[in-house]
Every structure is written in structure tokens, then in C-alpha cells.
């Protein structure tokens, strides 16, 4: 218990804060050199130069010490092998005003041999999303609390009622049911597998993952990687996730974020609970219909990114 607290609550935050301070000190030093070279003036005032050096040196020492300490408290475990053969797979699919595409999205997962049930969580759609989902073979559940996070939490809960393995996905046709064949096998060794959309070779050229979305997701993911030392992440906004039901039971009471920055919150709770998590590249297609989330809205993407960073810094 003490090691868990030290690793997650003390060393994780200290490592992240020290890294950011080191980055800030180096950036300030570079800025001062550029200013001097261009205007031949000292910036910041000479009295601040020792302060910059102190920030850089102290932060570097903190980062180094924390890396050493974290390696001492991280428990090395044997590779776990827990077969998933014969386990039922249940899909929880979020939807909001997706009548244009929800039928095809549901059909894609219904026809996948390993899937036993698809539940579409209708988050107060004003169109015929629910009817289209039901016609395609899904069970429809209405989530009255408006918000992406609320829809995801309800989808996880509904899928857990009928599946040993839970799949979380969106109903906008960006994700492919066929990717389950490469995600599910990793559950033999892990508790949760999350997709990453930042692999260029698997991205449709007309998808929403333009240069800003890719760069932003990678930067935020690397902060998460520093916060929870030793786990590789490249994408914080991918909904496509599969997990064992017993792993979900460990974190479901801790899931509280109802808005669009739910995904890193879910991951933080999983890592705090010592779940084994791995990231796997998935295919990512153009969204069908109009995006109700970030989509290609740059300002919204920046705001969501800031919320994600605050979660990582202070959760």
C-alpha cells in the first residue's frame, strides 16, 4: 500500500512537475539567448540568469532522482497469462444524433463472430438514432445525463451486465469491428487494451486526425506516460477500448467525469488501481455525419486538451 501511494501520489506528480519545470527553464534560457542575439540586449535582466540556471539544474536533479526512486518502488511482475477463450464479449456503443450512421456501425459489430451483444447508449438524441440502432440489432439504453462521459459510463455498465469482456466504442463508423481480432488477444496478458489513432499507416486520409490532433494527442499522452512511469502512450482521445469485466469492477465506482475529457480520467483511474494497460494501433476512418465532439474544431480541441492536462497534473 505504501509503495502504491508513493508511486502514484508522490513520485508520479513530482516527476511530472519537475519535468515541466525543467522544460520551462530551458525554454526561458533559449528565449533569453535569442533575445540577446537579435537585439544585443540581455533578457531577462542579468540578475535572473542565475535563477534560470537554478531552475534547470534543480529540475534536472529532481527528474533524475525521481527516476531512480520510481525504479525502486515499481514491483516487477511475471508475465500474466489468463486465457480469454470462451469469454463472452459485449459492446457498449455511445451515440448522439447519429441516425445517419448508427445502423451501419451496429451491423459491423453484430456480425463479428466474437460479439454476443451490442448495446447502444442513446444520449438524448433528437433524431431516430435509437430506432435505427434497434433495427440493426442492438439493444438501446437511454442515458438522460447529457455528456460524453456519462454516455461512456453507461455504455460500460450496460456491457458489463452481459459480457465477461467489455468493449467501449463510438457509433459514428470511425472504428472497425474487425480490429477486435487484434485487440482482444492482448487481454490474455493485460486488464485493459486501448486503441491509438496516431499511427499514420492505419489512418484514413480524410479522418479527423490531422496534424494538430495527432500532435496534441501525442503531447498529452507523453505527459500521462511521465505521470505513470514506464507505460507507453501516444493517444489520449481514442474511445475504442476493451477490458475484462473484473477489471472494470475495480474502477467503476471511481469514474465520475461526465464531460468530453472522460477518456484520460478513465485511464488514470485504471492506472491508479494498478491495472495492466497496453496501447495498440487501430484503423481510424472518416466520421459519418456531423461531429458533436471535437471533430475538426481546433478551439474545442485545445480546450479539451487543457482539461486533459489538468486531469493528469492534479488527479
126 and 61, same structural domain? no
* Phi-psi label, residue 289: left if phi above 0, alpha if psi -120 to 50, beta otherwise: left
Q: What is the CATH number of the domain that holds 96?
A: 3.90.550.10
pLDDT digits (tens, 9 = 90+) for 36-67: 676 655 555 555 566 666 666 666 666 665 56
Considering the domain boundaries, does residue 35 fall inside one?
A: yes
What average pLDDT does this structure show over 62-78? 61
Say how far apart CA 172 and CA 91 lie, in whole Å: 14
211 and 100, same structural domain? yes
Domain hosting 62: range is 2-73
The confidence score (pLDDT) of residue 49 equals 64
The confidence score (pLDDT) of residue 296 equals 58
pLDDT digits (tens, 9 = 90+) for 78-105: 788 999 999 999 999 999 999 999 999 9
Say how far apart CA 165 and CA 162 lie, in whole Å: 9
Average pLDDT, the chain: 86
Considering the domain boundaries, does residue 110 fall inside one?
A: yes
Number of domains composing the chain: 2
Considering the domain boundaries, does residue 244 fall inside one?
A: yes
301 and 163, same structural domain? yes
278 and 250, same structural domain? yes
266 and 184, same structural domain? yes
Say how far apart CA 310 and CA 48 lie, in whole Å: 29
129 and 277, same structural domain? yes
Domain end (from 15, 42, 73): 73
Least confident of 91-95, 104-108, 275-279, 311-315: 311-315
140 and 97, same structural domain? yes
Least confident of 55-59, 69-73, 194-198: 69-73
Domain end (from 73, 101, 136): 73
Domain end (from 20, 45, 73): 73
Query: Own/partner pairs for 268-273, CB < 8 Å, 24+ apart?
Result: 268/224, 268/311, 268/312, 268/315, 270/191, 270/192, 270/243, 271/8, 271/228, 271/231, 272/8
Considering the domain boundaries, does residue 79 fall inside one?
A: no
Would you say 222 and 233 are in contact if contact means Cβ atoms under 8 Å apart?
yes
- Exposed/middle/buried for residue 147 (C-beta within 10 Å: 0-12, 13-18, 19+): middle
119 and 169, same structural domain? yes
Least confident of 42-51, 106-115, 232-241, 279-288: 42-51
Considering the domain boundaries, does residue 84 fall inside one?
A: no
Q: Is the pTM of this model over 0.85?
A: no
- Write the secondary structure of the chain as one string of H (helix), E (strand) and C (coil): CHHHHHHHHHHHHHHHHHHHHHHHHHHHHHHHHHHHHHHCCCCCCHHHHHHHHHHHHHHHHHHHHHHHHHHHHCCCCCCCCCCCCCCCEEEEEEECCCCCCHHHHHHHHHCCCCEEEEEEEECCCCCCHHHHHHHCCCEEEECCCCCHHHHHHHHHHHHHCCCCEEEEEECCCCCCHHHHHHHHHHHHCCCEEEEECCCHHHECCCCCCCHHHHHHHHHHHHHHHHHCCCCCCCCCCCCCEEEEHHHHHHHHHHCCCCCCCHHHHHHHHHHHCCCCEEEEECCECCCCCCCCCCCCCHHHHHHHHHHHHHHHHHC
112 and 41, same structural domain? no
What average pLDDT does this structure show over 241-261? 97
Percentage above 90 pLDDT, the chain: 58
Say how far apart CA 288 and CA 307 lie, in whole Å: 26
68 and 93, same structural domain? no
164 and 291, same structural domain? yes
Amino acid at each position: 500500500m505504501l509503495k502504491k501511494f508513493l508511486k502514484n501520489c508522490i513520485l508520479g506528480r513530482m516527476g511530472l512537475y519537475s519535468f515541466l519545470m525543467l522544460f520551462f527553464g530551458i525554454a526561458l534560457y533559449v528565449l533569453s539567448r535569442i533575445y540577446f542575439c537579435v537585439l544585443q540586449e540581455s533578457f531577462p535582466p542579468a540578475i535572473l540568469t542565475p535563477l534560470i540556471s537554478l531552475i534547470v539544474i534543480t529540475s534536472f536533479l529532481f527528474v533524475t532522482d525521481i527516476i531512480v526512486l520510481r525504479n525502486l518502488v515499481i514491483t516487477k511482475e511475471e508475465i500474466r497469462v489468463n486465457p480469454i477463450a470462451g469469454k463472452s464479449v459485449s459492446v457498449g456503443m455511445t451515440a448522439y444524433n447519429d441516425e445517419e450512421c448508427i445502423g451501419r456501425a451496429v451491423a459491423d459489430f453484430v456480425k463479428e463472430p466474437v460479439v454476443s451483444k451490442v448495446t447502444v447508449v442513446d444520449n438524448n438524441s433528437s433524431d431516430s438514432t435509437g430506432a435505427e440502432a434497434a433495427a440493426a440489432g442492438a439493444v438501446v439504453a437511454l442515458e438522460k445525463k447529457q455528456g460524453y462521459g456519462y454516455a461512456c459510463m453507461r455504455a460500460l455498465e450496460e456491457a458489463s451486465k452481459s459480457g465477461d469482456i467489455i468493449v467501449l466504442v463510438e457509433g459514428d463508423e470511425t472504428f472497425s469491428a474487425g480490429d477486435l481480432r487484434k485487440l482482444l488477444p492482448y487481454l490474455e496478458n493485460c486488464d485493459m487494451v486501448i486503441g491509438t489513432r496516431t499511427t499514420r499507416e492505419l489512418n484514413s486520409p480524410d479522418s479527423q486526425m490531422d496534424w494538430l490532433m495527432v500532435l496534441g494527442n501525442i503531447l498529452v499522452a507523453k505527459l500521462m506516460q511521465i505521470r505513470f512511469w514506464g507505460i507507453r502512450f501516444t493517444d489520449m482521445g481514442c474511445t475504442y477500448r476493451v477490458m475484462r469485466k473484473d477489471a472494470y469492477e475495480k474502477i467503476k465506482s471511481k469514474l465520475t467525469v461526465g464531460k468530453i475529457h472522460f477518456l484520460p480520467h478513465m485511464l488514470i483511474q485504471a492506472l491508479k488501481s494498478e491495472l495492466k494497460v497496453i496501447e495498440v494501433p487501430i484503423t481510424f476512418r472518416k466520421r459519418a455525419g456531423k461531429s458533436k465532439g471535437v471533430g475538426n474544431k481546433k478551439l474545442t480541441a485545445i480546450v479539451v486538451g487543457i482539461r486533459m492536462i489538468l486531469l493528469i497534473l492534479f488527479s
